[in-house]
Amino acid sequence: MLTARNGLLAGPLDAGLVDALSFREALGCLKAPSFSKVIMETNAPKVVRVLKSQASDPNYFGLIIDECKVLLKVITDCNVCFVRWSANNVTHSLVRASCSGSDVQVWGSVPPSFLCNALISDLLL
């Protein structure tokens, strides 16, 4: 683990839109310090599928995905992967933590204690 971040998204959003917005936020965080050799994992198959396609949708989801595609071009050697929901314990731990607080939290190379068990669990799967 190198970096983790969590926070709340405001508004009435469907799951697909939340996945796309979250992905865009993550890419924005990676762009600033010029990361390279990045593996981004998500349990949102639609986001992965649309990111890897050449098509563009003229709706809000499509516009966010288009922004993600632009950000992906800035990050050197970035691989986007789908992972099963059951194998994505780190993400679910971050979601639980964001629901219990109102501030955005960012962690560097040392994960917070609540993520350590999730990281170990994900490695064992």
CA 9, CA 43: separation in Å to the nearest integer? Answer: 18
Mean pLDDT of the chain: 77
| pLDDT at residue number 84 | 80
109: which DSSP letter?
A: S
Over residues 23-48, the mean pLDDT reads: 81
Within 10 angstroms of residue 79's Cβ, the number of other Cβ atoms is 11
Return the closest-CA partner of residue 103 out of 1, 31, 5.
5
> Would you say residue 6 has pLDDT above 60?
no
> Would you say residue 67 has pLDDT above 90?
yes
CA 77, CA 7: separation in Å to the nearest integer? Answer: 26
Over residues 85-93, the mean pLDDT reads: 69
Counting residues of the chain whose pLDDT is more than 70, the rounded percentage is 66
> Would you say residue 2 has pLDDT above 60?
no
Q: How is the chain split into domains, by residue range? A: 4-124
Pick the CATH number of 4-124 from 3.40.50.150, 3.30.420.10, 3.30.1360.10, 3.30.450.40: 3.30.420.10
Q: Which residue has the higher pLDDT, 78 or 116?
A: 78
Query: Token digits for 23?
Result: 């992905």
Per-residue pLDDT of 47-60, as tens digits, reads: 999 999 988 888 88
Specify the pTM.
0.68
